């Protein structure tokens, strides 16, 4: 019996950065639209379970379509403390998911992207049993805390980079990688762990302290 509960969050970044194949998966996931991302879903024939945002980037016609088709919509004033993505994450995590995949959060404004990426470090620590990823056509981004982590090879996104999010990443060991590492300290701002690759179908990374962002990429 499959007990996995997956939520797809689709934000309003440039649509060309969103893998088009996700819109074919109309079953087995809960859908959430964020601001202009709601229109992406509706254009693909998907009625999201929930829509959130200030909707300052959608037209009046799109707004009418949103409120007429979606049962649960939360609209906020643009002058607010939280970003639309933060509001989306708060809703998504209340659904007790096992996996959250975020699309449409890259490729546009860098301030929004950085906020979205770094926000993962907060939510991933608080909800350690939930797998949270930011995904676009070229990259998959996730945040990890100390421990042992197993990786499966990904033929399309073969490059693997580790970026320290604080100055306390210690004991980093990379096993099964083209460029192995053993019990190493990686300071904040280091480019040591950029663009590595797995040598086989599986690999392992483990570390003792700190926070690591992992990015799996394709050229």
* Residue 50's CATH number: 3.40.50.10240
Q: Which of 89, 109, 137 is the last residue of a domain?
A: 137
1 assigned to some structural domain: no
User: Would you tell me how many other CB atoms lie within 10 Å of the CB of residue 117?
Assistant: 19
* Residues 125, 170 share a domain: no
Q: Which of 137, 160, 181 is the last residue of a domain?
A: 137
Q: What are the backbone angles phi and psi of residue 141, rounded to the nearest 5°?
A: -115, 135
Q: What is the pLDDT, as a whole number, of residue 81? A: 62
* Residues 130, 38 share a domain: yes
> Measured between alpha carbons, how far is 99 from 120 in angstroms, rounded to an integer?
13
* Residues 165, 128 share a domain: no
Q: Which of 118, 137, 156 is the last residue of a domain?
A: 137
> Measured between alpha carbons, how far is 85 from 10 in angstroms, rounded to an integer?
9
131 burial type by CB count under 10 A (0-12 exposed, 13-18 middle, 19+ buried): middle
CB 10 within 8 A of CB 46: no
Per-residue pLDDT of the chain (219 residues; tens, 9 = 90+): 457 899 999 998 899 999 988 888 767 889 999 988 999 999 999 999 999 888 877 888 888 888 888 888 888 776 666 778 888 898 899 999 999 999 999 887 888 888 888 888 889 989 989 999 999 999 999 999 999 999 998 778 999 999 999 888 999 999 999 999 999 999 998 999 999 999 999 999 999 999 999 999 998
User: Would you tell me how many other CB atoms lie within 10 Å of the CB of residue 57?
Assistant: 14
* Residues 156, 126 share a domain: no
- List, in order, residues 6 or more apart from 155 with CB less than 8 Å away: none
Q: Within 13 A of 165's CA, how many CA atoms are on the CB side?
A: 19
185 assigned to some structural domain: yes
How far apart, in Å, are the Cα atoms of 113 and each of 14, 116, 119?
A: 12, 5, 10
* Residues 130, 31 share a domain: yes
* Residues 114, 36 share a domain: yes
* Residues 104, 20 share a domain: yes
Q: What is the pLDDT, as a whole number, of residue 1? A: 46
Q: What is the pLDDT, as a whole number, of residue 215? A: 96
- Residue 170's domain comprises 144-217
Residue 4 corresponds to which tokens in the numbers above? Answer: 């996995």
């Amino acid at each position: 019996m499959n007990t996995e509960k997956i939520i797809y969050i689709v934000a309003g970044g440039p649509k060309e950065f969103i893998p088009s194949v996700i819109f074919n998966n109309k079953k087995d996931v809960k859908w959430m639209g964020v601001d202009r991302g709601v229109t992406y879903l509706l254009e693909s024939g998907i009625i999201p379970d929930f829509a959130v945002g200030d909707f300052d980037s959608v037209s009046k016609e799109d707004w009418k379509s949103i409120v007429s088709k979606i049962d649960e919509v939360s609209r906020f004033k643009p002058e607010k403390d939280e970003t639309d993505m933060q509001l989306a994450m708060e809703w998504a995590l209340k659904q007790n998911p096992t996996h959250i995949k975020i699309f449409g959060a890259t490729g546009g404004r860098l301030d929004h992207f950085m906020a979205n990426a770094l926000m993962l470090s907060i939510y991933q620590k608080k909800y350690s049993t939930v797998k949270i990823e930011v995904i676009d056509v070229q990259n998959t981004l996730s945040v990890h805390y100390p421990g042992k982590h197993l990786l499966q090879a990904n033929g399309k996104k073969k490059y693997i980079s580790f970026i320290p999010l604080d100055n306390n990443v210690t004991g980093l060991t990379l096993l099964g990688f083209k460029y192995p590492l053993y019990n190493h300290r990686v300071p904040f701002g280091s480019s040591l762990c950029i663009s590595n690759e797995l040598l086989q179908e599986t690999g392992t990374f483990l570390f003792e302290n700190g926070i690591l962002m992992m990015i799996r990429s394709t050229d």
